[in-house]
Amino acid sequence: MSDSDLIVLRNVAKAYRRGEETISIFADLNLTIPSGDFVAMMGPSGSGKTTLLNLLGGLDRPTSGTILFDGAPIEKLSENKLSAWRAANIGFIFQFYNLMPTMSAARNVELPLLLTPLSTADRKRRVKTALEIVGLENRAGHKPKELSGGQQQRVAIARAIVSDPKLILADEPTGDLDRTTAVEILEMLQLLNRELGKTIVMVTHDPAAAKYARRELHLDKGTFEERHT
Amino acid sequence: MSDFRLILAGLGRKPLRTSLLIFAVFIAFLIYGVLAAFQSSLENAAGPSSSNRLVVANRINFTQPLPFAYVSRIQNVEGVTDVSYSNWFGGYYQEPRNFLLTFAIDPESYTRIYSEYVMPDDQRQAFIANRDSIMVGRSVAEQYGWQVGQQIPLSSNVWRRRDGTSVWPVVIRAIYDGKDANTSTGSVFVHYEYLDEGRAFGNDTVGIIQIVTADAAQNDAVAARVDTQFANSRAETETLSEQAFNAAFIDQQGNIGLIILGVTGAAFVTILLIVGNAMAGAIRERTGEIAVMKTLGFTSGRIARIVVGETLLLSLFGGLLGLVLANLLTNTLSGIPALNQFFGAMRITPQIALSAVGFMAALGFITGAVPAFNAMRVNVITAFRRI
Ligand SMILES: Nc1ncnc2c1ncn2[C@@H]1O[C@H](COP(=O)(O)OP(=O)(O)OP(=O)(O)O)[C@@H](O)[C@H]1O
Ligand SMILES: [Mg+2]
């Protein structure tokens, strides 16, 4: 393991218990994602892509094995420590945007900053910058339902980057968008990766979308198969 | 402070629902405020009370008389530091419907014991010195436009004079105020001697005898001594603390306390169910949003605090509005002289306001508890599977 490795999975297993039987999603997963990488995660439905993303984001814990983030294992952190760790290190982007319907775009973007000790003025400044990066500075006061799907996803991206996390996890971020809008979003992710150095793990079903990443990982039957783009 | 905005955002999600819930809480506290003010004014109407004062009445019933001789015998009972007495007069002014809450008293000792009735000293002296004097409360004086020095015909629907008439000419020599706003100023006092010398029957009896003890701790012992002294005599006595006597007096007017408890209790339970249920529903609708917040790094504890903050804010806002309106309403009602005479100064006392705020807080916490617990239990992974 080198210093530049952001994420290292060692012998990670994940199983769900459903009644009497235990369903193993993967039994021995090993993976290294260096800092600054942009990974497209592909694979058939039910192969465990979302499950893996949840593990990387500290939303779920592995059944066994360890997940190192910046060299430190995260699976043993307490619930509250994990929350603080997520707030500091991870930006999430969802397929259905998941914005707060009653809040304006700016308030939505500000949400993760409420977990930091930043002053109101600092928060305002950061929100403005994040909205500028996604090109929505003139929509700051709009509520989600007053925005198109693509715009909503851009607000979600602004929310994911506003606290300057190292890792961005995106689960089918273009799954609900048309081709042109999807391209906009993918180009934006590419920009975040190339210009701002964000490490990105993106789950997608779309081979065309995967081309925007630096590499593709195929998850199937509990193992990875790697393809470079 | 940043959480306060999230609390507002939560409540602002469905403005109509939030308004209706606030309205429900508002009504509950309006009812509570008015009824509680009403009850406390009734307690005042029964007369002031002090913890080291006792009331001696006839054991049969407080409307039965006691021999006047009891007054001096009670004076000699161990632990008694002061004594006064009074007799129901049943007064009215000009016509029976102008009813006056009138008592015949021993002016010197009565005004000494009831220091909550305050008046200029020269008025007090003039009232004591002249047998045909009356002392009237401020609200009665204002109702009839009476002034000090004015002569009025005071009629009694109980006491006939020896000459066969029922009109007792009197001169207003003192107008008293209450020591504080809780003291009712709705009574009229005449001299006991004036009544007793003039009345055609019932002479040498008094209605009740007031005792002052050295301190409240001696009340029970003194009461027992008095009642033992008159046991097996012509008129047996029952000695109670002034509070107990007043409470018994109020009970005669129907058990207002129980009615208030019943009405506000029912209102509160209803509001509790409505708000609790609505909030539980609101949180259920927000499962997805809560899951997102948890994903972003909000802890379950913080989310629970926000949810309880919502119900607290809701009940404080609605409750305080209700209390403010109750205050306006009671001020208006007690400003009507005919009502004030009986209900004293009907108003929201600091104690009522304080207990109301306590109830608001309790309502907020109780209605927030279940939704907050449900919010804490939202599981991010399964929540997103449902979205
Ligand atoms: N909480 C859970 N309890 C039981 N089984 C679960 C749970 N979460 C996931 N699974 C199962 O784990 C497997 C992997 O699910 P996952 O959502 O990770 O797949 P995916 O690759 O993201 O699929 P898709 O492409 O459809 O989103 C599925 O069979 C799913 O039913
Ligand atoms: Mg998935």
Query: Is A141 domain-assigned?
Result: yes
- Sort out which chain B residues have CB atoms less than 8 A from A100's CB and list them: 9, 289, 292
CA gap A76, B60 in Å, rounded: 79
What residue of B is the nearest CA neighbor of A91?
B296
Question: DSSP code of B159?
Answer: P
Query: Is A209 domain-assigned?
Result: yes
- What confidence score (pLDDT) does residue B338 get? 61
Compute chain A's Rg from CA coordinates.
18
Going by pLDDT thresholds of 50, 70 and 90, the confidence category of residue B387 is very low
Domain membership of residue A167 as a residue range = 36-59+76-228
Asked if B298 and A115 come within 8 Å (Cβ–Cβ), the reply is: yes
Asked if B295 and A86 come within 8 Å (Cβ–Cβ), the reply is: yes
Hey, whose CA ends up nearest to atom 27 of ligand 1? Answer: A45
pTM: 0.72
Query: Is A213 domain-assigned?
Result: yes
- The structural domain count of chain A equals 1
Query: Which candidate, B157, B38, B44, places its Cα nearest to that of B100?
Result: B157
Mean pLDDT of chain B: 88
Hey, whose CA ends up nearest to atom 30 of ligand 1? Answer: A46
Q: How far is the CA of A51 from the centre of ligand 1 (A)?
A: 6
Query: Is A146 domain-assigned?
Result: yes
Diameter of chain A measured on Cα atoms = 54
Alpha-helical runs (H) found in chain A? 49-56, 79-89, 105-110, 120-133, 149-161, 179-195, 207-210
In CATH, what number is assigned to the domain containing residue A42?
Answer: 3.40.50.300
Query: Is A25 domain-assigned?
Result: no
Tokens of A94: 């969802």
Return the ligand 1 atom nearest residue A43 CA: 21
Residue B387 · residue A96 · CB < 8 Å:
yes
Return the ligand 1 atom nearest residue A18 CA: 4
Beta carbon of B382 within 6 Å of any ligand 1 atom: yes
- Per-residue pLDDT of A135-185, as tens digits, reads 999 999 999 999 999 999 999 999 999 999 999 999 999 988 899 999 999
What residue of B is the nearest CA neighbor of A104?
B9
Mean pLDDT to the nearest integer, A28-49: 93
Residue A203 · residue A53 · CB < 8 Å:
yes
Going by pLDDT thresholds of 50, 70 and 90, the confidence category of residue A122 is very high
Asked if A80 and B289 come within 8 Å (Cβ–Cβ), the reply is: no
| Whether residue B259 has pLDDT greater than 90 | no
Query: Is A118 domain-assigned?
Result: yes
Closest by Cβ to B296, choosing from A79, A102, A111: A111
Query: Which candidate, B28, B35, B32, places its Cα nearest to that of B275?
Result: B28
CA gap B279, B25 in Å, rounded: 13
- Per-residue pLDDT of B237-250, as tens digits, reads 999 988 888 777 66
CA angle A54, A60, A66 (to 5 degrees): 95
Tokens of B221: 């012992």
- Sort out which chain A residues have CB atoms less than 8 A from B12's CB and list them: 102
- What confidence score (pLDDT) does residue B157 get? 87
Query: Is A108 domain-assigned?
Result: yes
- Per-residue pLDDT of A65-121, as tens digits, reads 999 999 999 999 999 999 999 999 999 999 889 999 889 999 999 999 999 999 999
